[in-house]
Amino acid sequence: MKSCNSCQECKVTKYRTDEEKKRLLKRLSTLEGQIRGIKQMIDDDRYCNEILIQISAVNNGLKSLGNCLLQNHMKTCMVDEIKKGNNAIVDDIMGLMKQIN
């Protein structure tokens, strides 16, 4: 994790390898396709059950992606910060958990 010191509103960033980005973007593209499919199903007047099943699949896909990001965050960003002596990162993750649950 690194911070930008050249701007008023400092943003924390996370370096991701090209392979990591590729995996995450592929998953997002799949979800994007599923959303377009749901839009088409509604436009085609498909039966509610079929649409609800697709919505559930998107929700599960988003949860899975979020869990993947959270796991990576805990194994990399958090561990790095704790090794640097920044134990406040634990409070940060607790705040995050309250926001996402």
Burial of 54 by CB count in 10 Å (0-12 exposed, 13-18 middle, 19+ buried)? Answer: middle
Can you list the alpha helix ranges (DSSP code H) found in 1-101?
Answer: 18-43, 48-73, 79-83, 88-100
Q: 20-100: CATH homologous superfamily?
A: Metal-sensitive repressor, helix protomer (1.20.58.1000)
**What is the predicted pLDDT for the residue at 100?**
87
Q: Do the beta carbons of residue 28 and residue 61 sit within 8 Å? A: no
Give the pTM: 0.77
What pLDDT does residue 5 have? Answer: 43
Mean pLDDT by 10 residues, the chain (101 residues): 48 86 96 98 98 98 94 91 92 91 79
CA 80/CA 76 separation, integer angstroms: 6
